[in-house]
Structure 1
């Protein structure tokens, strides 16, 4: 089974963008737009304090008619962040993300942010595993 450690290693870009909880939502959304990402990890004093996604923005700024330039990230971020470790399996992460309706999971060990995986990263890894299994079965059948 493929682990999160392997998924992180295979990612094209391993950069994890972070922002401080007291930054404005406008700063966060601007950074996300500039980097082409759908979520940003909120870090305070080196520890994951939350996550801010496009979904948070849509539901908590646009629909509630708040202003991005005077609302802080901490006011709209998801504070109860589910995280995984490098030893978690792709299957476990996919199950967690499906059950909790998540698109991103921070990878944390010893309170240190090691990476961020998306549902797309996990689907790619699962597909790669299936292709490898099919090849092995074809070789077994062929003798």
Structure 2
């Protein structure tokens, strides 16, 4: 199973914000959409990713005043991405090594979607269930 399969099931919609949006506005967007991260875009260019964790860290350092800071000031600008042909195992390794929960999907220098750790776990479990059922049928028919 690969990224393209996951996106086919989940869809390619991605919430994006401008670099000048305040952390308070980003936090409200995350809460309203019930998501954990947004991509920060400058036109068609991916310039960063901003997660709930980033916002909490900013508040921890600066207090409530951090909510007036811009996304640009707090976002992660060294973005790790994945491609449509990357496997679920590759995603799990990348997310575990980097200790992050969201990966933008980039194909041919264009944003194609976003994958969360929840998406990866859901599809890995489905894959395992299918494998188990196939083995069960094989044993039953032997």
Q: TM-score range by the shorter chain?
A: over 0.9
Distance between the aligned counterparts of 1:60 and 1:21, measured in 2? 16
Equivalence for 2:9:
10
Distance between the aligned counterparts of 2:99 and 2:137, measured in 1? 38
CA contact (8 A) 1:52 1:78 kept: yes
Equivalence for 1:83:
81
Equivalence for 2:17:
19
Deviation at 1:58, TM superposition (A): 0.8
Secondary structure in structure 2 of the residue aligned to 1:7: helix
CA RMSD of aligned residues (A): 1.4
Which stretches of structure 1, 4 residues or longer, exceed 4 Å deviation after superposition? none
Distance between the aligned counterparts of 1:109 and 1:21, measured in 2? 22
CA contact (8 A) 2:58 2:66 kept: no
CA contact (8 A) 2:59 2:67 kept: no
Secondary structure in structure 1 of the residue aligned to 2:73: helix
Equivalence for 1:98:
96
Distance between the aligned counterparts of 1:131 and 1:69, measured in 2? 43
Question: What is the TM-score of this pair, normalised by structure 2?
Answer: 0.93
Deviation at 1:86, TM superposition (A): 0.6
Deviation at 1:30, TM superposition (A): 1.3
CA contact (8 A) 2:12 2:112 kept: no
Q: If each structure's helix is expressed as a fraction of its own residues, which one has the higher value?
A: 2
